[in-house]
Structure 1
Amino acid sequence: MKQAAIIVVQALGTFAILATALPLLTLQEWYVRVFDYPRVQLISLALLSLLLYIWLGTKHRKRDKALLAGLVVAIAYQAISIFPYTFLAPVQVKQAEQDSTQENELSIMVSNVLMTNKKHDRLIALAQEKNPDILLLLESDAVWQEALAPVTTKYPYRVEIPLSNTYGMHLYSQLPLRQKKVSYLLDEDIPSIKTFVKLRSGIWVALHAVHPKPPVPTEDPNSKKRDAEIVMIARDIAESKYPVVVAGDFNDVAWSRTTELFQEVSSLLDPRVGRGFYNTFNANYPLLRWPLDHIFHSDHFKLVQIERLPDVESDHFPIFIRLSFAPENKYEQEEPEADEDTQEEASEMIEEGFEEAREKNK
């Protein structure tokens, strides 16, 4: 019985080590990149395996020592990866002053609705309760567009892209919008939105909404187009002379190299750093959750509030943020920077994405 338990723990520990090591490869195949996601789960599995193996194992054979050493390294690596998203880390975005005025604030609610979800009333009630300046819906089709009319009638400014391929996108704003541009960067059926929103104070802010395909067999066999689209948007943002906010379902986790590259190239800040994971997916499986829905912003803003919202019967939880425009404190927050090697990596990633798109279109 004990020997059987040791074999099971060895198998679990070996899996935790391999799953930790695979994402270190530069391969963009889905079966490699999928292990970017469950870092919290993998560190938990590695720690459990380590403790059980110490309790059960002999610890004297070379393979025992090798497994224990591998588990320690895996735990250390995963801990370093997720540490910035714990309360132990310093915040990247400062908390706004308590006297922040509404005219300088911008509130955004992002919800991947799950196109097949018929419980429209859940989201309607939540949107009415939170009353965000910007309501961004993802996976929304014509049915969702019609069903949400009771709440969206109060949003006079909008970009509506109802699609039946699970990549529809609806952006509703109570604040004026200008230069509303819908782009299909690498796929003719995967939209992204770029527009400018006018704060009550009169300041114009560049707003990007994104939802690239994930690297899964049913969507894309690799992450090349997803990664390229994310970095292309980062390049566009880097040239902006306006304050910037980016929101959407990246289909990528906050701690992946691609999202890290996005931040370095765009110089945007992540308000979750030092505050928590804010896992938005998968709402249906408590033990398998990670942060897929993101809101990044330039250092013109400070944070008033960030919140993962209650379940709306989707596979994603909505996320809500309230930002305060505080340009006088712009340099209090250290923004990420891209060096020459990072820019070269970004260029290669974009080219690989275009090559993949050309191959698919042949």
Structure 2
Amino acid sequence: MFTIFIVTSAFLVLLTVAPLLPSDHWMVRAWEFPRLQIAGLLILNLVAMGALYHQNLMYMALLISVNLAALAYQIHWILPYTPLVPVMVKKIKSADPKRSIKIINANVLMTNHDAPKLIKLVEQEQPHILVTLESNQWWQDALKPLHEAYPYRVNYPLENLYGMHVFSRLPLSQITTAERVEKGVPSVHCVALLESGEQVKCHFVHPAPPSPTENEEATERDIELLGLAKEIAKYDGEGSLPVIVSGDLNDVAWSPTTQAFLRISGLCDPRIGRGAFNTFHAQHRLARWPLDHVFHSDDFELVNLSRLPEIGSDHFPLLTEICLK
């Protein structure tokens, strides 16, 4: 029994320290994602040791200490995404609808053809902006029923899982599309005009993840995210526009890269102090983490933040409504 606990503890500690290795390889960086799951396994391991083993107490105490240290390290990363810490973005008591913007961020999964689910959800929630990711020409055609309600659109259909579409009820200007870091991996940048007449700078992004089927390393993703963060940091100053960044970042909220993105850009994460709002994987309850994000400048307060029902994709849509202070 003691040998079993040594093996399980060594395995969980290895998963905990793996992201600390000086490597961008997906086999290292992937373990930044399941911190919630690893923390849960560490708790189960500690409970099992306490319940099932009562010999060699000195060695067991050492093993328990190692597990507790690993658990504390995992909690250090995920604690901000629980209600146990103060919120970063205050909730507004009475929002002015003309100064509010509601965004649905939806990774539709290119091979998913259940477009009516998404259309029904959009008609129900009435967002100002819908951002679809992994949307190809099939999805562009399937979402034509939304055109009348969303006359301002940006189409970037691709067949490589990185197509992107923006549907907006708000007028859009200064629209640019770019494949900033990788060919075939676009982002969309524009200015949205609120009903109040105020402008908001919007960035919609979907960098490729580190994985055995995509990029072997996280380098390209990190370059795109941190490059955007540095660009946003230059906006700061009198007369600068409020900023929103939305998309599937293929990175979890608690990763060092996302934390560096927030620190450099100066943007806020409305999930901090509220919850993780895990959007992936929609079909696997025990393997979920927050991949879809909406960050914003300190000009906003929160109206609503919620994970929406599934739409046949491997991602849940994320709804964020914020209002200018």
Cα distance in 2, alignment partners of residues 244 and 26 from structure 1: 32
Amino acid paired to 1:316: H
Paired with 2:120 and 2:5, the residues of 1 have a C-alpha distance of 47
- Residue 148 of structure 2 corresponds to which residue in structure 1? 153
- Is residue 103 from structure 1 mapped to residue 98 from structure 2 by the alignment? yes
CA shift digits 1:100-134 (9 cap, x unpaired): 21111000000000000011111111011111000
Are the aligned partners of 1:13 and 1:45 in contact in 2 as well (CA < 8 Å)?
Answer: no
The SS at the match of 1:324 is strand
Other structure's SS at 2:285 match: coil
Secondary structure in structure 2 of the residue aligned to 1:254: coil
Name 2:267's counterpart in structure 1. Answer: 268
In the other structure, the counterpart of 2:10 is 14
CA distance in structure 1 between the aligned counterparts of 2:251 and 2:298, rounded to whole angstroms: 22
- What's the counterpart of residue 241 of structure 2? 242
- More moved, 109-118 vs 14-23: 14-23
> Runs ≥4 in structure 1, deviation > 6 angstroms?
none
Q: Shift of the alpha carbon at 1:59? A: 5.3
1:73 counterpart (69, 74, 81): 69
CA contact (8 A) 1:10 1:49 kept: no
Does residue 226 (structure 1) correspond to residue 226 (structure 2)? The answer is no
Aligned counterparts, 1:133-148, within 5 A: 133-148=128-143
Query: Is 2:116 aligned against 1:117?
Result: no
Match of 1:127 among 122, 125, 137: 122
Q: Aligned-pair distance for 1:63?
A: 5.0
Unaligned runs of 5+ in 2: none
1:210 counterpart (205, 210, 227): 205
Partner of 2:296: 297
User: Which whole-Å CA distance do the structure 2 matches of 1:233 and 1:36 have between them?
Assistant: 21
SS at match of 1:228: helix
Deviation of 1:12 (Å): 2.6
Partner of 1:178: 173
Letter paired with 1:77: Y
> Which secondary structure state, in structure 2, belongs to the residue aligned with residue 106 of structure 1?
strand
* Secondary structure of the structure 2 residue equivalent to 1:26: coil
Distance 1:55 1:238, change over 3 A: same
TM-aligned CA deviation for residue 81 of structure 1 = 1.1
Amino acid at match of 1:118: H
* Aligned twin of 2:281: 282
Normalised TM-score (structure 1):
0.86
Q: CA deviation at 1:94?
A: 0.6
SS in 2 for 1:213: coil
Tell me if the contact between 1:180 and 1:195 (Cα under 8 Å) persists in the aligned partners. Answer: yes
Q: Letter of the aligned partner of 1:271 in structure 2?
A: P
How far apart are 1:183 and its partner, in Å?
1.1
Structure 1 residue 10: deviation in Å? 3.4
2: CA distance between counterparts of 1:125 and 1:26? 46
Does structure 1 residue 49 correspond to structure 2 residue 45? yes
Q: Could you tell me how far apart the structure 1 residues matched to 2:59 and 2:162 are?
A: 48
Contact 1:254–1:291 at 8 Å: present in 2 too?
yes
CA distance in 2, matches of 1:20, 1:9: 16
Q: How far off its partner does 1:276 sit?
A: 0.7
- Give the corresponding residue for 2:158: 163
How many angstroms does 1:60 deviate by? 2.4
Q: How large is the RMSD of aligned CA atoms in angstroms?
A: 1.3
User: Aligned in 2, Cα 1:136/1:236: closer, same or farther, shift over 3 Å?
Assistant: same
Amino acid at match of 2:294: I
Give the Cα separation in 2 of the matches to 1:206 and 1:30. 32
**Paired position in structure 2 for 1:88:** 84
**One-letter code of the match for 2:324?**
F
Name the amino acid aligned to 2:155.
E
